[in-house]
Each structure stands twice: as C-alpha cells, then as structure tokens.
A and B are shown apart, each in its own frame.
Chain A
Amino acid sequence: MKLSALAGALALGIAFAGSALAQDTKVIGVSIPAATHGWAGGMNFHAQQTIKALEERYENLDFVLSTASDPGQQVSDIEDMMATRNIDALVVLPFESEPLTGPVQRVKEAGKFVTVVDRGLSQENIEDLYVAGDNTAFGRVSGEFFKQQMPNGGKIVVLRGIPTTIDNERVEAFQQAIEGSGIEIIDMEHGNWNRDDAFEVMQDFLSKHAEINAVWASDDDMAVGVLEAINQANRQDQMWVLGGAGMKEMIKRVMDGDKIIPADVTYPPAMIGTAIELTALRFTSSMPMSGRFIISSELITKDNAEKFYYPDSPF
C-alpha cells in the first residue's frame, strides 16, 4: 500500500517533470544510416555539425541522433525515440523506402512533425517536409557537361553504382542528355560506388578498348579507382574523368586545374543539415515550413570550386 503510493507519487513527479520540460524544450529526433561509405560518412559529419551549431544557437531545442546500419535497426531507433525520448519532430533519412514507411507513418499519426530526407517513402503525403537531392538533375548536368566538352562526339565508358532506383534515374537522365550528340557509350558496368570495384572494372575497360575519350565515373569514390587504373595503363593523356557527389579531394583537384578531373557534379551530403535546420525553424519561428525542398545538382568547375570545398569533412 505504502509502496504503491510512493510509486504513484514518483510517477506523477516524473510526469510533471516531463511535461514541464516539454513545454520549454522541443526534442528533434534525427535518424540516419550509419557511415558505411564515403557519402554516408559525409552525411553523418554534417548531421553532427548542424546539431552542434543548433544546440548552441537555440536553448530550447534538444536533439537525439541515432545511426543505423540496417533498416530493421532504424525502425527500432525510431520506436525508441517515440517511447523514451518523447520527440516532437523526426528527421529521417530512410535506409530503404518500403520498410520505413509504416514506422514513420505511425510517428506522423502520433502528431509529430516529420521530415523525410533524400529517399522518399513508398506512400505519399506522410511527411510534412521533404528535402532531397535531384538524381535526374545529377545525370542531366553530367550529360550536358560531356556534350559541352565533346562537341564532335566521342567514345566514353560509364561506371554505374549499386543497382538501385537512384542509379537508374541518374543513368537514364545522363543518356537522355547526351542523345544525338555523337557521344557513344561503348561500355557500362557496375562499380558499386566502391573504389576497389571501380579500379578493377576500369582495368578491364582499358584492356578491352583501345580508344576511350572520357569516363563518366558518376561518383568520386569510383573516380579514385578509375584514375589509378588509368595511371597504371599510362593513358592519362588520352581521356578525362567526371566523378560526382563532391568529395573534398576531387574538388581540390578541380580547384587546382587538374586536366584529368575538369569538373565535378554535386550531390551534397550536407542536405541532411538543410533538413535539420528547416525542421528547427519550424519550432523557433512562425514561418511555414512544410512542402518539398529539392536541392539541385550543380556543376563544379575551376571557377566555383572554392565554394564547395570543406577541408574538415571526412568526405
């Protein structure tokens, strides 16, 4: 009897403390995939940086960051945030669309503000705010650069990423952009956004084709492997390489005017920062913050490279 009264009082106290806290402080949960490759590493870096800056700027905002290495874990992370951290908003970069759709929908149904980043959910109108990169623009901008560099056409090889919708959208847009330009894709193979795989694929392309005028590596990690294979074959003077995403080492080379890396195309991992900032604004201002925010893919050349250079980022 005594014990249960004590427990009741304790629970009441906790509930009071909880509600008092909730009135002053808003909690934003951020759930992202773990840093399993270069781009995700950069994304993790920018998420941490943004959270640090926002916590200093706004006293009444609290953040919960969790990184998941598979979709199942991400679902658990989100459930934990709802159950134990009493979040007011969720910023989520879904590992995969399908498995995350249900759990994120339940967060929304509980009356929380939901921001989805980069990978859309498989059902529409769940999220309040959608922040994403533009894969079609990524492919188109890359294709247009090839067209501009090769007005008389030429022979190119293409390295593709991990077989996914993202990769398909990019490659289709690229092919559309170079249509009718006389640029011929003589070979295309998956390098899985991986340096080692790209190195081996490029070695084989170089043995197979005597004439290659340019390479669309479509990713900066793959470009690293491609460049090494070209160096090994001693054919640096015969072709140039376009990567993508905006890795700092590659941007540095563009900035320095390296002939073999004339440009890069952004797909900024910092977009997670954009999403967190906009979500924070929802709670710190009265500005409308719902809708879609699509971050364009920009062409980085020698002239504007400095603007995209983050020497401290791991990516």
Chain B
Amino acid sequence: MTVDSATSTAPRQGFRIDFHIWGPVVALLALIALGAFLNSNFLSYGNVTNVLARSAFIGIIAVGMTFVITSGGLDLSVGSMAAFIAGVMIMIMNGLVPSMGVGWGVILVGMLVAIVVGFAAGLVNGLLITQARIEAFIVTLGTMGIFRSLITWLANGGTLSLDYGVREVYRPVYYDGLLGVAWPIIVFAAVAILGEIIMRKTPFGRHCAAIGSNEQVALYSAVHVNRVRLMTYILLGILVGIATIMYVPRLGSASSSTGVLWELEAIAAVIIGGTVLKGGFGRVWGTVVGVLILSLIGNILNLANLVSPYLNGAIQGVIIILAVVLQRQKKMER
C-alpha cells in the first residue's frame, strides 16, 4: 500500500505500474494527453488557469472530506453548507456597507463570518454524530436539507447578490493572483500541501486512519475517538468556509442552486484518489488528482465535441468507475 511495495514488485515484472498507487495519476496523464491531442488551446495558460481555478472549490472541500472519510465518516451537507455560508456572507457584507463603507474592511469581516459559520456548521454535524450517536449519513442528510432550505429562505427564493461596490473590490480574489497564478489555485495548493502533511506526519492523521480502520482497537489504544471525529467535521466545515471565500467573488451571488451536488463531486474525487470509502486509509494527494480528473472531463467534453452533451454525465460515470476498478483489481490479487 506504500511506495515500497511498488518498487519491490517492479523489478521482477520489468516495467510494471502498480495501479493501486499510480492508477489515478495514469488516468490524469491520459486525460491531459487526450485533451492536448483534441484541442491545441487545451494546454494554453488561460485554459489551465480556468480548470485549476474552478477545481479549487471542490478541491478545498475534498481535502477536508478525505479526513472525514478516512476516519470512517461521511458528510453530505457540504454543498448546501457552502450555499448557506455564501448567502450569510453576502447578507452580512451588504448590511455592513452603510456603516463601514466599501473596502477591504467589509470583505475581511465577510471572510471571518465564512470561517466562523463553517466552523459552527461542522461543530453541529460533529456533535450530532459523536455525542448524539446518530449515523453520519443521516445527520448530514438532515443538515443538507436544512442548509438548502435556509439559503432558499434567506434569498426569498431568488438570488442574493453582493453589493456592486464591494464586488469590484472583492473580485480580484478569484480573478487575480500572484506571479500569474490565480489566488484560488494558490489557496487550493496550500490547503492540499498542509492536508498531506497533516495526514502523513501528525498524530491526528494517524488517528483518523486508526479510527476508520477499527474504532474499537483505536479506542483501546487510547485514541480520543470522539474528539478526533469531531475535529474532522470541524476541519471540513472550516474548509467549506474557505472554499466559499474563494467562490463568492466569482459571480458575487448565491442562490438555492449554488453548490448543488458538490458533496457528491467531493466524495467521488476522494474515492477516485484512492481513499477507501469505508475508512482506514486516506491519501490527500490522491484526492487532488481525483478533483483534477473530474474537472478535466467536463473541460475536455466542452472543448471537443466528442459526444452528445446529453452523455456528459455518462462519460464522467464511466471514468469514475474505471479509475476505481484499476485500483481495486490490484488489491484483489493480493
């Protein structure tokens, strides 16, 4: 399951790729090659920036989801939560404009609100799961409906739009960047690198895997099971807040159709990346690859008229299943 096993099987078979580890990367490279072959603009700076920046929302959330799933949990509420946070953020920023004026002050308050609301939402999910001992699937299915209704109610069924002046100031957070790299990409990369370090090098990461693999054994090994679980949901909530901070400046609006199905995309990315849905093993870099695979499929289908647009969903489904089949086959052989 580690890099060592790849190198130990490699010499005997000659050059053979261990799909369990490298499957997602191979799939990603194949998609990049296909894209470059189909359209010469595919590798252009503009297109690469577009794809990476739009992956950032799901990507940031999926990194948090990796921890939740690794510890044997699940969170279906993240898409609705993102929409709810975006709505609250926009309403508070609009409300502050008369007193604080248009400027970075308002936006910083908005960002803080996003993190705090994300923290609180994650805390509620986590407490219901760990303290009230309700299945994660049920708790987050419930909060998914609650957040989705709340945003519809806040927006009065329509769309909440950010004050035009604030929007102009806030806009560069999505569209500009540092040295030609857009901010969402920078934040996504930072979150992914930190996530990888936490998963591999810290007790928290190891505890997540231990709980997901066998909760009883983890408990007897003096792991604070409930506390670690709770922290995974809080971490995910905060990351949803960060994703929303990057999302709001893009279109400056939130409605009941914001973030629909983000939870499933995030979960799919985590599983494509090699994390086990039942928990016990997680890989943050794999999740990043999974997110990129999902957004590249959409991008390539738009750039090249390969199939009827009605079939886009089918192509995505086939690639998701293929990516996982490649990994699992290797595991079965063992």
Contacts and interface: CB of A to CB of B under 8 A. Distances in A.
Nearest to A208: B303
Contact of A207 (B44, B155, B175, B310): B44
Contacts of B54: 200, 203
Contacts of B302: 189, 200-201, 204-205, 208
Contacts of B256: 35-37, 41
A38 B161 CA distance: 12
A267 to B, nearest CB: 16
| Chain A facing B: main interface SS | helix
Given A34-B152, A189-B302, A208-B303, A41 B310 contact: no
B315 to A, nearest CB: 14
B55 to A, nearest CB: 11
A190 B305 CA distance: 12
Interface in B298-317: 298-299, 302-303, 305, 309-310, 312
B253 A35 contact: no
A300 to B, nearest CB: 19
A188 B303 CA distance: 11
Given A207-B41, A207-B47, A208-B303, A200 B298 contact: yes
A224 B253 CA distance: 10
7 contacts: A36-B257, A45-B156, A194-B260, A195-B253, A196-B258, A232-B175, A314-B157
Contact of A208 (B39, B155, B159): B39
Contacts of B50: 200, 203-204, 207
A242 B159 CA distance: 20
A38 B255 contact: yes
B203 to A, nearest CB: 38
A95 B309 CA distance: 24
Contacts, number: 95
A55 B139 CA distance: 41
Interface residues of B, number: 32
Given A189-B309, A201-B302, A204-B299, A195 B47 contact: no
A202 to B, nearest CB: 9
A228 interface: yes
B251 A41 contact: no
Contact of A41 (B42, B156, B161, B309): B156
Interface in A177-198: 187-190, 194-196
Nearest to B259: A196
Interface of A: 34-38, 40-42, 44-45, 160, 163, 187-190, 194-196, 199-201, 203-208, 221, 224-225, 228, 232-233, 249, 313-315
A302 B39 CA distance: 40
Given A199-B250, A200-B298, A228-B251, A42 B158 contact: yes
Contacts of B44: 207
Contacts of A195: 251, 253, 255, 257
Interface string B141-169: 00000000000100111110100000000
Nearest to A200: B54
A25 to B, nearest CB: 28
A68 to B, nearest CB: 13
Given A35-B256, A208-B41, A41 B299 contact: no
Contacts of A225: 251
A205 B302 CA distance: 7
The 10 closest A-B pairs by CB, nearest first: A35-B157, A314-B158, A41-B157, A204-B302, A41-B158, A207-B47, A203-B50, A207-B41, A314-B156, A44-B157
Contact of B159 (A34, A38, A201, A232): A38
B46 interface: yes
Contacts of B42: 207
A10 to B, nearest CB: 38
Contacts of B303: 204, 207-208
Contact of B158 (A45, A189, A203, A224): A45
A238 to B, nearest CB: 15
